[in-house]
Each structure stands twice: as C-alpha cells, then as structure tokens.
Amino acid sequence: MSRLQTLLLAQVVAALCAHADVSVSTPKPKKVLDTIMEPKFIPPEEKIGLHWKRSAINTIRSKLQVTINENKAKNGILFIGDGMSVATIMAARTYGGQLAQGIGEENILEFEKFPITGLARVS
C-alpha cells in the first residue's frame, strides 16, 4: 500500500472515530430494569407476615433434618476470593435474583448451599 493510501485511510478512520458516540454505554438487561423500576413484581403473599413465619419454620425444619457427617474428611475445598465481603456477596445475590425475575434477596448463591461454610476476613 502506498504512503498516500495509508495516510488517507488513517484520516478516514480518525474522522469516523471522531464522530462516534462515546456517550453510549452498555444497556442493562431489560429484566433487571423492569424489576427495579416497577414494584408490582412483589408477590402478594410476601406482603403478609404469616408467609415469612411459615418460610422460617420450613427452613428450620429442613436444617434440623440434616444428619451430620462425622466421617473424617479426605479432601477439602478452599475458595479464595478477593472482594468477597458480605456486602459484595449480598449484591451478587440480589443481582442474580433480579435477573431471574425475582426480588433478589431470596436468591441463594451456589456456594451458600454447601452444608458447612465459613468466612475469614484478613486486612
């Protein structure tokens, strides 16, 4: 390619980039915006206190039915995550729940389903 063609091509590319709309950002998924902006997505049964009491009773009953494994562990799994504070985990839980067309707070992350977990914070 000749030097003149290269120079013209560079000017055309620069002109196109100069007119590009840099204020355009990646739009949020419509599902999340719908659940955040419109409060009608809250299920009516969740507005009644008895629903939450029954939910708590069912959770306690399911936890009490779990038998404790007293065998000696052969292996262990250690997750090391940077920026996994309680607030960050809650934000991820809420975002995932809203993507699934829920309120968000009822969502449970996969590692939270493990039978035994712990949290250690270092500074």
Confirm whether 74 is domain-assigned. Answer: no
Give the pLDDT of residue 56. Answer: 93
In a domain, 8, yes or no: no
**49 within some domain:** yes
User: What total number of domains does the chain contain?
Assistant: 1
Domain hosting residue 46, numbered range:
24-66+79-123
Nearest to 123 by CA among 79, 77, 85, 88: 85
Q: Burial-class residue 94 by CB neighbours within 10 Å (0-12, 13-18, 19+).
A: middle
pLDDT of residue 39: 55
Q: What is the mean pLDDT of residues 34-63?
A: 79
In a domain, 34, yes or no: yes
User: Which tokens in the block code for residue 23?
Assistant: 């204020």
Domain assignment present for residue 72? The answer is no
Decide if 9 is inside a domain: no
